[in-house]
Amino acid sequence: MPKSAPRLAAGLLALALVFTVAVTTPWHLIDLPKPDAALDFTSAEIARQNAFRHEILPWSTASWIISTLVPLVIGFSPLGRRMYDGLRVRPWVIAVPLTVAGVVLITSLLTVPTDVMAERVSLKYGLSVQNWRLWVWDRGLNWALTSLGLAVIAVVLMALAKHWKQGWWLPGAIAAALLVLGVSFAYPVLVEPRFNHFTSMPAGAQRNEFLALAKQDGVPVKDVLVADASKRTTALNAYVSGFGSTRRLVVYDTLLKDTPPAQVRLVVAHELGHAAEDDVLHGTLIGVLGTAFGITLLYLLLGARMSDPRRAAMLVALVAAGTVLASPVQNLVSRKIEARADYHSLRLTNDPQDFVAMQHDLAVQNIDGLDPSRWRYWMFATHPTPPERIAMGRAWATQDGHPVPPLVGR
């Protein structure tokens, strides 16, 4: 294989990734008026949201900084190699997963104080209702799943690097891409049930309406699942996950409890928009390209040194760094995809009045950020802000000749 092959492959994968994102992302749907929270949120609602964020953001930001820096410090310093050597475990296929799990565990333990404080704020404002036993269980399960995923990647790449010193990038990229595809496909049936219990929505008028809406939309939906989210939160939500035979439409039990039926219908229509556009599959395919590019880039950085199991912690650090660097682009694409699902919801229901009311009520109940700082918006916002989403509903209504007046002062 020519020495230039990995550089050429990396360049082609980068071009394919940029082209795919550029072509498949819905960059413009409708001209929007300037978002203005004061039009639809009372001063008391805005003050509550600001107070909540003032209390929780220092802790959540500190936790994010810690969870980012700790793997970098361990992986890019002698600490990572010392961790591996200190295990005194052979063979390496056992020592590497233990090292990876150790790095993730240290990171998780160091974020406990800040995460506890953030959880206390969520409990104070009634957004969280879970007990501490469940909170600890969730953290332990997240640690186990994260460690397992990173350990599989590390072992597979190192095994390939030991076998093909100078050409491991090709089978490594293929294996990692297949792993991303497989995890996305299996996630709804293997991972989600570890956190929530799912039941079919009881037979009745609302379930029939959702299935009829899906049929009208041309989206094959055999069932609507209800997640027992109320054991953790009062937040309102719904989502679509998986693709093909594992695709599922899930609504939180909190959403069905007190939300007006017209608003629930709009939420479901939004999720049907994701299903109609195969957003999970498209996102997975972009992830496949991005992962293949990342593995090729990893080869250009480490080459044959990837075969050294003492670099397991460095691999975790590189994954952490890559995740942070990719976040702004991933979030930008995600916001555009979510905006398209909102647009789909409006087209399917033609109900901008309830759409605006729904976005307001969800934002108030979930205490969503109405006007985040620019860096937070780029680093963490996977959805448009509530005022942005309301602006879309208002733009749709105006275009349709039935403007929606501001909610404040109704």
The domain limits of the chain are 5-399
Average pLDDT, the chain: 95
pLDDT for residue 206 is more than 60? yes
pLDDT for position 371: 95
pLDDT for position 165: 85
Global pTM value: 0.94
pLDDT for position 310: 95
pLDDT for residue 298 is more than 70? yes
One-letter amino acid at 146 equals T
Average pLDDT, stretch 222-230?
A: 93
pLDDT for position 252: 97
274 is in an annotated binding site: yes
pLDDT for residue 295 is more than 90? yes
HEC letters along the chain: CCCCHHHHHHHHHHHHHHHHHHHHCCCCCCCCCCCCHHHCCCHHHHHHHHHHHHHHHHHHHHHHHHHHHHHHHHHCCHHHHHHHHHHCCCCHHHHHHHHHHHHHHHHHHHCHHHHHHHHHHHHHCCCECCCHHHHHHHHHHHHHHHHHHHHHHHHHHHHHHHHCCCCCHHHHHHHHHHHHHHHHHHHHHHCHHHHCCEEECCCCHHHHHHHHHHHHHCCCCCCCEEECHHHCECCCCEEEECCHHHCEEEEEHHHHHHCCHHHHHHHHHHHHHHHHCCHHHHHHHHHHHHHHHHHHHHHHHHHHHHHCHHHHHHHHHHHHHHHHHHHHHHHHHHHHHHHHHHHHHHHHHCCHHHHHHHHHHHHHHHCCCCCCCHHHHHHHCCCCCHHHHHHHHHHHHHHCCCCCCCCCCC
pLDDT for position 234: 97
pLDDT band at 1 (very low <50, low <70, confident <90, very high): low
Average pLDDT, stretch 290-295?
A: 96
Q: What is the pLDDT of residues 18-27, one digit of tens each?
A: 999 999 999 9
Residue 279 catalytic?
Answer: no
pLDDT for position 410: 55
Q: What is the pLDDT of residues 375-401, one digit of tens each?
A: 999 999 999 999 999 999 999 999 988
Distance CA 103, CA 76 (A): 12
pLDDT for position 402: 86
Average pLDDT, stretch 155-169?
A: 93
Q: Which position among 115, 217, 342, 388 bears the catalytic label?
A: 342
Look at the alpha carbons of 142, 148, 151, 152 in this order and tell me if their dihedral is positive or negative: negative
338 is in an annotated binding site: yes
Q: Which position among 40, 45, 115, 271 bears the catalytic label?
A: 271
Q: What is the pLDDT of residues 78-95, one digit of tens each?
A: 999 999 999 988 899 999
Distance CA 355, CA 407 (A): 12
277 is in an annotated binding site: no
Q: What is the share, in percent, of the chain residues with pLDDT greater than 70?
A: 99
Residue 342 catalytic?
Answer: yes
Q: What is the share, in percent, of the chain residues with pLDDT greater than 90?
A: 92
Distance CA 45, CA 30 (A): 28
